[in-house]
């Protein structure tokens, strides 16, 4: 979620900076265009776009096909926020409307952190304040405050950085994660994520059911109470929704298979869970959380299975799993993400939160989510356009 929010911030910065320009003269650009982006030796993740290309695609689609009044209002609000929040650090900075925006995760040995690159000129070189760093071709924005060690590490990374030409397409984006290349296709009514070649070894996952996602996990820089989550190597989840019980306590309906590097890492995970959440009622095979009981079962040497309904999800001591070599699988019914039965008055309270409304609306407008071979496809209903719905979702996340 943190990564998604920071990516949204990157796109938001690009959009509002572009929104300060008259876009009409810039709409006549080729479908493929080359621009420079920084490349770090120690980058763990990199996602880059040409905002002008995306704007061109969005605006033409909006004016000729979609004509969604809500999208027009969201764009107006984003631009207005930029104009009303003057940032003195950006006074001398001129955003290159033909330049790239890139998001990075840098693998600092102790505390990895992220940064966002904006192409432009006019700024001084070096630290402009604790969150902005200028280089000759543009500026870096760091979403979170860095420690002294992280600042020093970033400065050394800048010295070893190089600029690289990259060819961009408006509706096709390549990004790098752990030295693997992924391709995101931005279609008219859908998103498609094409995964890299198969892994060398099979990965154990749950058989997809409900709303399913299986993915490697590389969490870092978490707070003390949640640092134990950094030991999880991969997870596979089937989510079926939630309800409020008779005591108005939240009860989740799910099953998850967590993967660790070895049995010792799994044992430390369980131990730290018990230490950090001592108010939960722990037993060898289950944990009670706010009157909800979740079963816990060790699987093999390096897996941990947790579920809400063991009688339903565990048959004769066996859980339904499968193995394949694709690292990420996503499928099922996304409306389950915001399903809350027996909610009563709580449902009205939830509707007050923009992010809940945004996810609820986005999932309700989804027709199908599937993984076929090495392609994950999130397809919207035919009356909804992917670009506009995504804009609504990120604007809700930023409210």
pLDDT tens column, 185-207 = 988 899 899 988 766 677 899 99
The CA-CA-CA angle for residues 205, 211, 213, to 5°, reads 40
Task: Inform me whether the pLDDT recorded for 24 exceeds 50.
Answer: no
Copy the structure tokens of residue 329. 């699988």
| pLDDT tens string 301-337 | 999 999 999 999 999 889 999 987 777 899 999 999 9
Taking the domains of the chain in order of start, what are their residue ranges?
2-188+385-398, 203-380
Average pLDDT over residues 250-268: 94
CA distance linking residue 155 with residue 169, whole number of Å:
31
Average pLDDT over residues 291-309: 94
And the tokens for 27? Answer: 């709409």
Report how far apart, in Å, the C-alpha atoms of 289 and of each of 97, 106, 256, 292, 295 are: 51, 36, 16, 5, 11
In whole angstroms, what is the distance from residue 236 CA to residue 219 CA?
Answer: 15
Largest CA distance in the chain: 68
| pLDDT at residue 258, as a whole number | 96
Q: How far is it, in rounded angstroms, from Cα 61 to Cα 388?
A: 9
Q: Helix 51-61 to helix 2-19 angle, to the nearest 10 degrees?
A: 80
Confidence of residue 27 (pLDDT cuts 50, 70, 90): low
Instruction: Return the pLDDT at 22.
Output: 45
Neighbours of 201 (CB within 10 A): 7
- Confirm if 255 and 214 have CB atoms less than 8 A apart: no
**Binning pLDDT at 50, 70 and 90, where does residue 137 land?**
very high
Check residue 11 and give its pLDDT. Answer: 54
What average pLDDT does this structure show over 231-256? 91
pLDDT at 174: 86
Contact of 285 with 295, CB cutoff 8 Å: yes
8 A C-beta contact, residue 164 and residue 178: no
Position 79 pLDDT exceeds 70: no
Q: What is the mean pLDDT of residues 282-295?
A: 91
Give Cβ neighbours of residue 132 (< 8 Å, ≥ 6 apart).
89, 123, 139, 140, 141, 142
Alpha-carbon distances of 255 from 252, 302, 343, 359, rounded to whole Å: 10, 17, 22, 21
Does 223 have pLDDT greater than 50?
yes
The confidence score (pLDDT) of residue 1 equals 42
User: Which pLDDT score is estimated for 163?
Assistant: 95
Mean pLDDT across 84-108: 81
Dihedral sign for Cα atoms in the order 259, 264, 268, 271: positive
Task: Report the chain's mean pLDDT, rounded to a whole number.
Answer: 83
Q: How far is CA 185 from the centre of its chain?
A: 16
Q: Is the pLDDT of residue 2 over 60?
A: no
Task: Identify the pLDDT of residue 76.
Answer: 65
């Amino acid at each position: 979620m943190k990564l998604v929010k920071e990516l949204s911030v990157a796109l938001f910065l690009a959009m509002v900076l572009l929104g300060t320009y008259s876009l009409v003269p810039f709409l006549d650009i080729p479908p493929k265009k080359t621009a420079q982006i920084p490349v770090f030796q120690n980058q763990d993740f990199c996602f880059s776009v040409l905002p002008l290309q995306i704007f061109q695609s969005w605006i033409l689609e909006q004016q000729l096909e979609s004509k969604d009044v809500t999208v027009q209002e969201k764009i107006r609000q984003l631009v207005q926020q930029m104009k009303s929040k003057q940032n003195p650090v950006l006074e001398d900075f001129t955003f290159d409307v033909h330049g790239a925006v890139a998001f990075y995760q840098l693998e600092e040995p102790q505390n990895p952190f992220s940064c966002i690159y904006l192409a432009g000129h006019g700024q001084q070189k070096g630290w402009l304040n604790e969150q902005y760093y200028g280089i000759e071709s543009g500026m870096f924005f760091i979403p979170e405050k860095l420690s002294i060690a992280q600042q020093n590490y970033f400065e050394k990374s800048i010295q070893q950085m190089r600029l690289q030409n990259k060819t961009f397409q408006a509706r096709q984006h390549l990004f790098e994660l752990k030295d693997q290349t992924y391709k995101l296709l931005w279609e008219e009514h859908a998103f498609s994520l094409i995964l890299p070649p198969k892994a060398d070894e099979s990965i154990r996952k749950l058989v997809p059911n409900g709303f399913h996602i299986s993915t490697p996990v590389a969490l870092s820089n978490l707070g003390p109470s949640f640092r134990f989550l950094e030991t999880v190597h991969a997870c596979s989840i089937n989510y079926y929704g939630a309800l409020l019980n008779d005591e108005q306590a939240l009860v989740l309906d799910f099953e998850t298979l967590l993967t660790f590097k070895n049995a010792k890492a799994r044992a430390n995970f369980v131990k730290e869970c018990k230490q950090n959440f001592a108010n939960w009622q722990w037993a060898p095979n289950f944990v009670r959380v706010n009157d909800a009981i979740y079963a816990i079962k060790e699987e093999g040497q390096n897996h941990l299975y947790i579920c809400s309904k063991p009688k339903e999800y565990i048959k004769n001591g066996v859980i339904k799993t499968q193995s394949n070599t694709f690292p990420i699988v996503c499928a099922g019914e996304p409306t389950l993400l915001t399903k809350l039965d027996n909610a009563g008055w709580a449902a009205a309270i939830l509707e007050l939160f923009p992010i809940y409304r945004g996810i609820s609306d986005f999932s309700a407008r989804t027709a199908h989510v599937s993984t076929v071979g090495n392609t994950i496809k999130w397809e919207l209903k035919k009356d909804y356009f992917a670009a506009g719905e995504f804009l609504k979702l990120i604007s809700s996340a930023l409210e």
